Amino acid sequence: MLGYPLLSFIIFLPLLGAFFIFALIRGDEETKACNAKNMALWTSCITFVLSLIVLANFNSSSDGFQFEENINWIKGYNINYHLGVDGISIFFVLLTTLLTPICILASWKSITKRVAEYMIAFLLLETLVIGVFCALDFVLFYVFFEAMLLPMFLIIGIWGGDRKVYAAFKFFLYTLAGSVFLLLAMLYIYQQTHTMDIPALMQLVPNLPVVAQKWLFIALLLSFAVKVPMWPVHTWLPDAHVQAPTAGSVILAGILLKMGAYGFLRFSLPMLPAASHAMVPLIFTLSVIAVIYASLVALMQQDMKKLIAYSSIAHMGFVTIGIFTFNIQGVEGAIIQMISHGLVSGALFLCVGVVYDRLHTREISHFGGVAKKMPFYAAVLLFFTMASIGLPGTSGFVGEFLTMAGVYEVSRTFAALTATGVILGAAYMLWLYARVALGEIHNREVKKMDDLELRETLCFLPLAVLVMVLGIYPSYVTNILQHPVENLLKQVQKHDQSYIAMNLTQNQIIKVTQ
Amino acid sequence: MMQFLLADILPAVPEMVMATGAMLLLILGVLQKKNASLMLTQLAMVLIVVTAILLLHAPHGAETAFSGMFVSNRFIIFAKILILISGLLVLPLAQGALPSAGTKFFEYPILILFAMIGMMLMVSANNFLSFYIGLELQSLSIYVLAACNRDNEKSSEAGLKYFILGSLTSGILLYGISLIYGFSGTIEFNALHGFFVGEVNPTSMPIGLLVGLILVITASAFKISAVPFHMWTPDVYEGAPTPVTAFMSTAPKIAASVILVRLMLEPFASWQGQWQQVIIVLSAASMVIGALGALRQRNIKRLMAYSSIGHVGFVLMGLASASDSGVQAILIYLGIYISMSIGVFSIIMMMQRHGEARESTSDLSGFAKTHPLAAIAMTIFMLSMAGIPPFAGFFGKYYVLLAALDAKLYTLAVIGVLSSVISTYYYINIIRLMYFDELGEPLEKLHSEAIRGVLMLTAVFNLFYVIYPTRLIHGAIAAAQTLFL
């Protein structure tokens, strides 16, 4: 089985599915839609199974890249088609392959126009996102990273809400404006090292002068910070989330936001360790502002989706601060927080989608007493609310706890500030739950709402199970994470010491000359 | 004696075959009673293919003809092939055009052929005289082409405007050449190169020579419509019949940028410190104005005019880096640019309602519903132009930016990427019109196999370039190296 280029299969199978939908599915609107939906669901399910095979054959005791494929792609510019996964990226691949079929299932009834195109866009998005997480060549990474803008732009713009055009443009241009600096950084790195191979760059780039590293770090930061999104470049996210269709929000929150943080882990930290150390205060400050500011803003939201969007910004603040603690708890906590946020916020957006499909509004004030008509739904919402708050036993707890433990080791002040985010998180999530599910029914429309149907339950079930499993037995994930994270930290520390040593020797030289 | 003569014209055989063929076609066209436009177009395409085959089999080393007036090497052959390809793609467009475009007369393919001969002479020039002759042959043919829709006011205006400004440019060019001649005593490229080589300190050169150089750059900048010599572009693009605009946006720009590259890197190579700053300013201004100018355009041809100005800025960025990687980036960029630009113009030619061409961007609203495949192609072109991977345009920008960073032109590179972000706004705005907006009055289908074929070719190239980019790159690398031997 392992003789096959498994990662390429996983990446391009959705593309193949999209091509089949595009080329083969004909007939009147209804049969076309139905066939397209089935085709997309099956393709994404098979992709998921393939990614499980990767996980099953994954060797967690090795810290290098596995399932590597390396083909010379652009000769003359040293660009290769190089793929591979390590313990960090494999979880994002799995998250993507898991969320895509759920997204397709969630759009089964809510998308009524241009269904075939919608499915094509989603499959395309899946291809590109998996590509981002598997790419081991900088240019290949960038190609996937940027190309992903188009399907997301179309998903928001065609199937979005009232202000979809504004939101789609904002999303596209914001992200692009950040990414072009990544492009420049990438070109500069190539010009210095003459390779684009990520494992090779991890060895070469840290040797660049610290000044150059700092500029590169800022360029990468501009790009990844928009994706994460970090304060103050987060403003595209609420718009994009509110206007996107439910499944679009799920994929946006669940996966696209993780790309920025993944970029930090894959590029900024291992390649620019000296600059990463120098930038810790900046990242910490921005993250804490994001956590507190976004939580406060979330408290005041009237729109359910906007509230969850702001909560995403706060949760991603935990992730960025965790990554830059440079200790094993912090980084592992950040990664688990990412996985957990992918599952939980995805599920929360699905929850919003469920009531939106029935009532066609997301205004919190239009709800109230939903639990009376939809008890099962209320239970699901409660579960994911608790997971979002970080109740022990759910994945959210593991992520937040480890992150804060990591931050505490570095700075108590920042740990305390981050902890306020947890409290505020509980406040806005519980208040949201209370206003939506509890109380008396004052809106007559709510009385007509039916509880979850089988299709919707199927969407929530795998997410709920995983949230529980990750909350109760996180060791399964941390075992796989351990080696790559330790390796990453060793890389960061090694060059940090050489950086310190270099500074020391410079100081000594200065002293001697004085 | 005979052998000497043959060796002296051998490198120019492809041009001579093309010129003879074009004149034969002219005679044929005159003798034909009925409208021979279709047949002549087909024959012209055959002629172009024959010329291209001859070029590909020509010796690749540097060879001169006509006592050193004419030169041919790998770099020049590569540029000529690009010119021929754009001609080959543009010719069928005119056949698919609406009758109101006024391009279905038999002189049309012949004028295109003559313009291309002019361009090929120009890029092969090894002397300011042959450069000027080539330029004039090209320009005269295009003046006529721009005004060829005689009954249309805008077309006549475009032709006249282009003619007047073009003549002014010719004057500037001649004045520049005369200054260069006056201060250096030669108009031969090789001799000029030697003139600099002898000098230890290039800054001690006479100022008149510098003025001459700048005037020559000005004239070339006008031809490639670099800012601040771009004013004519939107008006002429808008007024000229669309197939002519498609031609004007590609082949003459290739020819003029290639000769500019040759001028800067061959005779004036030692004066890099002098011309580089001029090119940097032209490049930065073109990218910024190209991006900002297009934001408010409602006419898609004017929009494409500004977009082409922006692309010229990128080409000049490659030149500003003054290295072989810069030159090869230019060649690749130009090759990709042809496919994007002609692709977009073939879409524009499909925009019609009740037998009338529509040119407003808002006419594209709902285009995805009426023309689903063409809308996909247009999306590919727009993203390619914006430089979004995995489409070909991204790689064009990639190589140029790499060359710019190699030459430590960091500010220029940052200006370049920022202006490409701004220009992305209007490119994705077109996608928005086609996909997000509800259908206005629908555009009608245009049944033309010719246009569809061109569209298909260019779209496929832009989409699949990512899979196999090596061929174009190798050609460009080999071509660029000949300039730096």
Rounded CA gap, A340 and B135, in Å?
Answer: 66
**Facing A176 at nearest CB: one of B395, B398, B424:** B424
CB A236 within 8 A of CB A170: yes
**A256-277 pLDDT, tens digit each:** 999 999 999 999 888 888 888 8
Task: Answer yes or no: are the C-beta atoms of B403 and B326 closer than 8 Å.
Answer: yes
Name chain B contacts of A164, Cβ cutoff 8 Å: 436
Polymer length of chain B: 485
Element (H, E) at B240: none
Of A146, A158, A191, the CB nearest to B405: A191
- Which of A75, A139, A144 has its CB closest to that of B470? A75
Phi, psi of A186 (to 5 degrees): -60, -45
A189: nearest Cα among A259, A82, A244, A270: A270
Residues 6+ apart with CB under 8 A from A58: A66, A85, A87, A90, A480
Q: Residues with Cβ < 8 Å from B122, sequence gap 6 or more?
A: B131, B134, B135, B138, B255, B256, B259
CA distances (Å), B341 to each of A368, B148, B250, in order?
A: 56, 21, 7
Q: What is the DSSP string of A179-213?
A: HHHHHHHHHHHHHHHS--BHHHHHHHGGGS-HHHH
Exposure string of B293-324, with b = 16+ CB inside 10 Å and e = fewer, is bbeebeebbbbbbbbbbbbbbbbbbbbbbbbb
Name the β-bridge partners of B304: none
Please tell me the distance from the alpha carbon of residue B154 to that of residue B156, in angstroms, as a whole number.
Answer: 5
Which helix (H) or strand (E) segment holds residue A23: the answer is: helix A6-24
The crossing angle, in degrees rounded to 10, of helices B372-386 and B324-350 is: 150
* B103 against A491, higher pLDDT: A491
State whether A147 and B469 contact (CB < 8 Å): no
Band of pLDDT at residue B219, cut at 50, 70 and 90:
very high
Which of the residue ranges A166-180, A302-316, A490-504, B22-36 would you say has the lowest mean pLDDT?
Answer: A490-504
Range B445-456 average pLDDT = 84
- From the list B388, B406, B469, the residue facing A74 with the nearest CB is B469
Task: Output the pTM of the full model.
Answer: 0.91
Establish whether this prediction's ipTM goes over 0.85: yes
**One-letter amino acid for residue B81 of the chain:** I
What does the pLDDT look like over A104-114, one tens digit per residue?
Answer: 888 888 888 88
3-state secondary structure A430-476: HHHHHHHHCCCCCCHHHHCCCCCCHHHHHHHHHHHHHHHHHHHCCHH
Q: How confident is the model at residue A374 (pLDDT cuts 50, 70, 90)?
A: confident
Q: What element of type H or E holds A74?
A: strand A66-74
Partners of B435 on chain A (C-beta within 8 Å) are 154, 157-158
- Nearest-neighbour CA in chain A from B368: distance (Å): 11
Q: Residue A76: its chain B contacts at CB < 8 A?
A: 470, 473-474, 477
Which residues of chain A lie closer than 8 angstroms to B474, CB-CB?
Answer: 75-76
Q: Label residue B380 by pLDDT band (50, 70, 90).
A: very high
| A216/chain B closest Cα distance in angstroms | 13
Judge: A181–B417 Cβ closer than 8 Å, yes or no: yes
How confident is the model over B457-477, as pLDDT tens digits?
Answer: 999 999 888 888 888 888 888
**Cα distances (Å, whole numbers) of residue A218 to A170, A211, A232, B5, B116:** 22, 11, 15, 63, 48
- Return the closest-CA partner of residue A100 out of A173, A46, A55, A24: A46
Instruction: Pick the range with the lowest mean pLDDT from A409-413, B383-387, B454-458.
Output: A409-413
pLDDT in tens, A157-208: 888 878 888 989 999 998 998 889 999 999 999 988 888 888 888 888 888 8
The two tokens of residue B449 are 């196999």
Nearest CA-CA partner of B22 in B94, B114, B90: B114
Contacts of B428 in chain A (CB under 8 A): 153, 169, 172-173
Which residue stretches of B351-391 are H helix? 367-370, 372-386
Q: Cβ(A92)–Cβ(A11) under 8 Å?
A: no
Q: Would you call B425 and A173 a contact, using CB atoms and an 8 Å cutoff? A: yes
**Confidence label for A21 from pLDDT (cuts 50, 70 and 90):** confident
Rounded Cα distance, B169 and B190, in Å: 24
Residue of B333, B365, B373, B376 whose CA lies nearest to B443: B365
Position A25 pLDDT exceeds 80: no
Tokens for B31, please give them. 């003798």
Q: What is the pLDDT of residue B178?
A: 94
CB contact under 8 A, B390 and A143: yes
Rounded Cα gap, residues A95 and A89, in angstroms: 10
The answer to whether the CB atoms of B398 and A181 lie below 8 A apart is no
Report the mean per-residue pLDDT for chain B.
88
What percentage of chain A carries pLDDT values higher than 70? Answer: 96
CA distance A138 to chain B (A): 13
Residue B343's Cα: distance from chain center in Å?
A: 14
Which residues have C-beta within 8 Å of that of residue B379, sequence separation ≥ 6?
A150, B431, B434, B435
Q: Do residue A191 and residue B383 have CB atoms under 8 angstroms apart?
A: no
Radius of gyration of chain B (CA): 22
The answer to whether the Cβ–Cβ distance between A172 and B428 falls below 8 Å is yes
Q: What is the pLDDT of residue B202?
A: 58
Q: Is the pLDDT of residue A397 over 60?
A: yes
| Whole-number pLDDT of residue B143 | 92
- In DSSP notation, A300-355 reads T-SBHHHHHHHHHHHHHHHHHHHHTT-SHHHHHHHHHHHHHHHHHHHHHHHHHHHH
pLDDT of B177 higher than 90? yes
Residue type, B359: E
How far is Cα A368 from Cα A232, in angstroms, rounded to an integer?
33
CB A261 within 8 A of CB A323: yes
Residue type, A137: D
Chain B residues within 8 Å of chain A (Cβ atoms): 379, 383, 388-390, 394-395, 398-399, 401-402, 405-406, 413-414, 417-418, 420-421, 424-425, 428-429, 431-432, 435-436, 466, 469-470, 473-474, 477
> Please, which residues bridge with residue A81 across strands?
A71
Q: Do A74 and B432 make contact, defined as CB atoms within 8 angstroms?
A: no
Report whether pLDDT(B114) > 90: yes
Residue A215 neighbours by CB distance under 10 Å = 18
| CA pair distance B394, B385, nearest whole angstrom | 8
Per-residue pLDDT, A161: 79
pLDDT for res A1:
43
Tokens of A383: 């579960």
Mean pLDDT of chain A: 86
How is chain B split among helix, strand and coil, in percent rounded to 5?
A: 75, 5, 20
Q: Is the confidence at residue B226, as pLDDT, over 50?
A: yes
Q: Are A344 and A312 in contact (CB under 8 A)?
A: no
Calpha distance B358→B350 (Å, rounded): 9
Residue B345 and residue B377 in contact, taking contact as beta carbons nearer than 8 Å: no
Q: If we measure between CA atoms, which residue out of B469, B485, B482, B477 comes closest to residue B325?
A: B477
Q: Which of these ranges, A54-58, A95-99, B284-288, has the smallest mean pLDDT?
A: A54-58
- Sequence-separated (6 or more) residues with CB below 8 Å from residue B422: B291, B292, B295
Cα within 13 Å of Cα(A81), Cβ side: 14
Tens digits of residue pLDDT in A62-86:
778 888 888 888 877 888 888 888 8
* pLDDT confidence of residue B383: 92
Domain that holds residue B217: 2-484
- Under the banding of pLDDT at 50, 70 and 90, the label for residue B4 is low
Instruction: Give pLDDT, residue A204.
Output: 86
Contact B421 A176 (CB under 8 A): yes
Nearest Cβ partner of B428 from A142, A153, A190?
A: A153
Interatomic CA distance for residues B69 and B124, integer angstroms: 8
**Residue from B429, B432, B439 whose CB has the most chain A CBs within 10 Å, to mutate:** B432
- Helix A328-359 and helix A375-389: axis angle, to 10°? 150
- Number of structural domains, chain B? 1
For the cut 50, the answer to whether the pLDDT of residue A10 exceeds it is: yes
- B308 vs chain A: nearest CA distance in angstroms? 20
Q: What is the dihedral of CA A4, A10, A12, A14, to 10 degrees?
A: 140
Which residues face A70 on adjacent strands?
A: A82
| Highest mean pLDDT pick, A139-153, B63-77, B197-211 | A139-153
Predicted confidence (pLDDT) per residue in A413-424, tens digit: 888 888 898 899
Contact criterion met (CB < 8 Å) for B399 and A77? yes
Sign, CA dihedral B146-B149-B155-B160, equals positive
pLDDT tens figures, B414-430: 999 999 999 999 999 99
Q: Enumerate the β-bridge partners of residue A85.
A: A66
More confident residue, B251 or A67: B251
Token readout for B56 is 């590909």
> What's the confidence (pLDDT) of residue A320?
92
Give the C-alpha separation, A229 to A237, whole Å: 7
| Residue in B401, B435, B473 nearest the CB of A75 | B473
Q: What is the pLDDT of residues B385-399, one digit of tens each?
A: 998 988 999 999 999
| Long-range pairs, A203-211, Cβ under 8 A, ≥24 | A205/A271, A205/A272, A206/A270, A206/A271, A206/A272, A206/A273, A206/A274, A206/A491, A206/A495, A210/A274, A210/A275, A210/A278, A210/A499
